[in-house]
Amino acid sequence: MNLSHEAQERNERLEAEAPQVFNALSPLARRAYFPKGIPYQANQAAACAINATIGQITDGCGNPLPLARLGELLSGLSTQDAFLYSPIQGRPKVRQLWHEKLVREDARMESIGLPAVTAGICHAISMGAELFFSPGDTLLLPDLYWDNYEQIFGIRLEGHIERYPFYTADLSGFNVDGLRQTLGKAIGKVHVLLDFPSNPSGYSPTHDEMKAIADVLVEAAAARTVVVYCDDAYHGLVFETSVTSKSLFFELIGRHSNLIPLKCDGVTKELSFFGGRVGFLTFGTSEGVSEILVDKSKSLIRSGIGSPVGISQYLVEEELLDPRHDESFEAMRQILERRYRILKNALSSPNGQWTVHPFNAGCFCLLELRNGLSAEDIRQRLITEESVGVVNHGDRYLRLAFCSLKEEAIEPLVEALKRVCAKSV
């Protein structure tokens, strides 16, 4: 397929400013550009006295005409914010507020451009992959990972996945050497995905481990292009002082021209807004390069979901502007920490039925069952015999989501698991 002159213009600008980033683009990303179509032309005409550009049903003065019940339900909100289209790249205010939030977390974000708004964090990861992951490319993952990564990189994008053990052999922490060795075997451009705090393990690196991970990625970038997807879905939910609450993304900014970090985060867990479906894709590049990549992202958004949901973004803006926001987040984190400590205590006694893998953050705990036990069999029996639901991760592991449990339900869950495992041979 021939490139349009508009795509070519973006590509030439990107190649001149950041050739390593241009060379890392997927074929789809090289074709992508945001055209001067309806949204572009409507924006240009936004201040016109008579505006017959965009297909929104209004009163003729830019105000929506909501149906009765929807108008009643959302009567406390601005009708323009609640009912009209969002810009393709997201509302300017929510993009700016999210960027300011990240700058407060780490001053290195000052040099980074505004994110593109996505339809949730999964969409941010998927869109980042569409921009940089080509069919046949290789993704490096620890062996304990969210199963949707296979859907995105393996099934949709036809890539290869190379795995290394998540934990060190003695289960003392994250396997930095495993990451280093697996990177050393990779040939050419390589993709690395890391999610901290982790789903399913509930582990987040210590301060020293995070620095070591970043250094390994920088070392690898000396010889090849390394695209790093930082899945920060559970960002900030840490429960031990030894664990860093900062994102790996911050440690990668400006470290090497061959290193392309992508930050995929959003409101799902950080704002406990699961139904909002507001995510952000931030490019760890200069502002000029980020602007071009956001333009290409707009092409993918426009051709995929049309535009992100406006009302959810408006609600996020209101939450981030609320003076109670930090206090409210901390209250939620403390609720999770109490559940974490109760579960930690309930699992502290030696038990021959499973091994508790280290967990210190996020929403989950992972148990490795003893030899002879099937995780799927135990999961099914927990449902039928104990009315208890957990998730199996492969045939060896059970994932316990303490984020969704009442405190008083945690010990009964562990006791039920003991009973079912003890009856199994």
pLDDT recorded at residue 88 = 96
pLDDT recorded at residue 78 = 92
Give me the residue label for tokens 């090497």. Answer: 256
pLDDT recorded at residue 59 = 87
Reduce the secondary structure of the chain to three states and give it as a string: CCCCHHHHHHHHHHHHHCHHHHHHCCHHHHHCCCCCCHHHHHHHCCCCCCCCCCCCCECCCCCECCCHHHHHHCCCCCHHHHHCCCCCCCCHHHHHHHHHHHHHHCHHHHHCCCCEEECCHHHHHHHHHHHHCCCCCEEEEECCCCCHHHHHHHHHCCCEEEEECCECCCCCCECHHHHHHHHHHCCCCEEEEEECCCCCCCCCCEHHHHHHHHHHHHHHHCCCCEEEEEECCCCCCECCCCECCCCHHHHHCCCCCCEEEEEEEEHHHHCCCCCCCCEEEEECCCHHHHHHHHHHHHHHHHHHCCCCCHHHHHHHHHHHHCCCHHHHHHHHHHHHHHHHHHHHHHCCCCCCCEEECCCCECCEEEEEECCCCCHHHHHHHHHHHHCCCCEEECCCEEEEEHHHCCHHHHHHHHHHHHHHHHCCC
pLDDT recorded at residue 329 = 96
3.40.50.10490, 3.50.50.60, 1.20.1440.230, 3.90.1150.10: which CATH number matches 326-422? 3.90.1150.10
Angle between helix axes 287-304 and 121-132 (nearest 10 degrees) is 110
pLDDT recorded at residue 1 = 62
Cite the residue boundaries of each domain of the chain with CATH code 3.90.1150.10: 326-422
**All residues at 6 or more sequence positions from 293 whose CB lies less than 8 Å from its CB, including other chains:** 14, 21, 131, 283, 285
Cite the residue boundaries of each domain of the chain with CATH code 3.40.640.10: 88-321
**In tens digits, what is the pLDDT along the chain, a chain of 425 residues?**
678 999 999 999 999 999 999 999 999 999 999 998 888 898 898 888 888 888 888 888 889 999 999 999 999 999 999 999 999 999 999 999 999 999 999 999 999 999 999 999 999 999 999 999 999 999 999 999 999 999 999 999 999 999 999 999 999 999 999 999 999 999 899 999 999 999 999 999 999 999 999 999 999 999 999 999 999 999 999 999 999 999 999 999 999 999 999 999 999 999 999 999 999 999 999 999 999 999 999 999 999 999 999 999 999 999 999 999 999 999 999 999 999 999 999 999 988 999 999 999 999 999 999 999 999 999 999 999 999 999 999 999 999 999 999 999 999 999 999 999 999 86
3.90.800.10, 1.10.3720.10, 3.90.1150.10, 3.40.640.10: which CATH number matches 88-321? 3.40.640.10
pLDDT recorded at residue 117 = 98
